[in-house]
Amino acid sequence: MLDEQRVRSDTPGAGSGSVFLDSAGSSLPPREVTETVIAHLRREAEIGGYQAANERLDDLAAVKDAIAELLNTTPASIALSDSATRSWTDFCYSVRLRPGDRVLISGSDYASNAIAALQHAHANGARVEHIPSDDTGQLDLDAFADMMDERVALVSLLHAPTNGGLVNPVAEATEIAHAAGALVLLDACQSVGQLPLDVAELGVDALSATGRKWLRGPRGTGLLYVRPELATSLEPGRLDLHSAQWTAPGEYRLAPDARRFEFWEHDVAARLGLGAAVRYLLDLGPDVVYDAIAARAAYLRKGLADIPGVTVRDLGVRHSGIVSFTLDAIEPIQVRNRLADQNITVTVSHRGSTLLDMAARGLDSVVRASPHYFVGFDELDRFLTAVSVL
C-alpha cells in the first residue's frame, strides 16, 4: 500500500494548498531529487565540474542500473540523453532507409516523432504512413497487419498519447511488425513511471522516455533503450569521443553498446537527479505507484462524466493516468486559466501535438488532467467541484 503521508511529506508542492494535475507535462519532484541536483551544483561551484563529476562516477553508473531494473534489461542497453525527443530522433535517424521503404507511425503519434520521421523518410526516398485506429481508438491490429510488408523498415508505436488516457497494445503490435522484419521504436514518454514497462515482454527494439514526467525527475533528462543485439548494427547520425573512439587518422570505432547513442557532455546534476527519481520509484514499489495513479485517474474520469456539460475524451480499452475532457461553450484554454485562478494546475493539449488523432475526432484542443500518486482524493474533489461551477 502506498505510504501517502510519506510521499506528500517528500513533495513540497503537495502541501502548498494547490492541486497539481500536470504530471503528464512536468511533475513535482521528490525532495530527494531536488536536493541531489542542488548539492551537485554546489559541489561544482566549489571544485569545478570535472572533479565534481569524477567524485560521482559510481553514482552516475548507478543511474543506468536503476533504469535497467525498472525496464527489466541490462545497463549496457541504456543510453542517457537530454530529452525523450533526442533519444527518439537519434534512434530513428540511425535506421537506414532506402527509396521505396515505408515508415509507419501511430494514429496518435506525437508531432516531434512525426516530423522527424517525415524528414528522415523524405531525405531517403521513403514514405511515412499512419496506422489506423479501431472503434475503441487504439491501434487497429488487423489493419496494421494488412499494412505490413517487406518494405516497412520502421514502426513507431506510441504507448500512451499525450492528449488522452489511451494505452495501445504494444506487445501485440510488435509481434506483427517483427513477423514482417520491421524494427519497432516505442515512445514511452507518457508511460514510464506510471505503467508497467518490461522491454523483454514488450519485445520492442528501442524505447524512448523522459525523466520529467511520471518519473518525477529533472527537466533536461531522457533515456533510450536499444535491444542489445541490435545496438551493434546501428550507427547514430552524430558521434563524439564518448560514442566512438578515434583509432587512427582516418578511422574510428563505435562504442560496443547503447553508449554509441550518448555524447560525452551532459548535465551531471540533472543525470544524478534522474537516478534519484528512479530509485525513489523503485523504493516505493512500482506496482504500488501504478495502482495509485490508475485509481486517481479512474476517480477523475467518473467524477467528470457525472458533471453536466463535461465530455470525457479518453479513448481505448485500457487507460493511463491522463484524463482528457472538454466543457460545453468553454474553450479548453479558458478552463485551464480559470482553474489556475483557483490554484489548480491542468494543461491543454492542442491539435498540433497529435494532429492525426485530433483531426480525425474534430477536436482543436482538450483539457488534460494528470494526477500523480501524491495528489490526495480530497484535492481531486476540489478539482471536480471547481469544474462543476465554471
Q: Quote the pTM value.
A: 0.96
Task: Please tell me the predicted confidence (pLDDT) of residue 16.
Answer: 81
What's residue 47's pLDDT? 98
For 115, half-sphere exposure in the C-beta direction (CA atoms, 13 angstrom radius) is 9
Q: What is the pLDDT of residue 15?
A: 77
Do residues 164 and 183 touch, judged by C-beta distance below 8 A? no
The per-residue pLDDT string of the chain (390 residues; one tens digit each, 9 = 90 and over) reads 899 999 999 999 997 899 999 999 999 999 999 999 999 999 999 999 999 999 999 999 999 999 999 999 999 999 999 999 999 999 999 999 999 999 999 999 999 999 999 999 999 999 999 999 999 999 999 999 999 999 999 999 999 999 999 999 999 999 999 999 999 999 999 999 999 999 999 999 999 999 999 999 999 999 999 999 999 999 999 999 999 999 999 999 999 999 999 999 999 999 999 999 999 999 999 999 999 999 999 999 999 999 999 999 999 999 999 999 999 999 999 999 999 999 999 999 999 999 999 999 999 999 999 999 999 999 999 999 999 999
Count helices and strands in the chain by DSSP H and E runs: 15, 15
- The three cell numbers of residue 171 are 506487445
Q: Which of 286, 309, 299 is nearest to 390 (CA)?
A: 309
Q: How far is CA 58 from CA 54, 64, 278, in A?
A: 9, 11, 16
SS3 186: strand
CB 281 within 8 A of CB 215: yes
Q: Three-class SS string for 95-163?
A: CCCCCCCEEEEECCCCHHHHHHHHHHHHHCCCEEEEECECCCCCECHHHHHHHCCCCEEEEEEECCCCC
Give me 276's grid cell: 534519484
For helices 268-284 and 31-47, give the axis angle rounded to 10 degrees.
Answer: 150
Q: Count CB-CB contacts under 10 A for residue 94.
A: 21
137: left (phi over 0), alpha (psi -120 to 50) or beta: left
Q: Which DSSP category does 77 fall into?
A: G
> What phi and psi values does residue 136 have, to the nearest 5 degrees?
-85, -15
Query: Where do we find the cell 493511463?
Result: 320
Give the bridge partners for 370, in sequence order: 22
* HSE, side-chain direction, 13 A CA sphere, residue 261: 37
- What residues have CB less than 8 Å from 102, skipping those under 6 apart? 126, 127, 128, 129, 149, 151, 152, 153
Nearest C-alpha neighbor of 162 from the set 328, 321, 297:
321
Question: Three cell numbers at 26?
Answer: 512536468
Q: Which pLDDT value is given to residue 245?
A: 98
Q: Please tell me the predicted confidence (pLDDT) of residue 85.
A: 97
Separation between Cα atoms, residue 111 and residue 209, nearest integer Å: 15
Contact 221, 212 (CB under 8 A): yes
Q: Which run of H or E residues covers position 324?
A: strand 323-327
Q: What is the pLDDT of residue 1?
A: 86
> What structural domains does the chain harbor?
4-28+286-389 (3.90.1150.10), 34-283 (3.40.640.10)
Closest by CA position to 80, among listed 279, 260, 252: 260
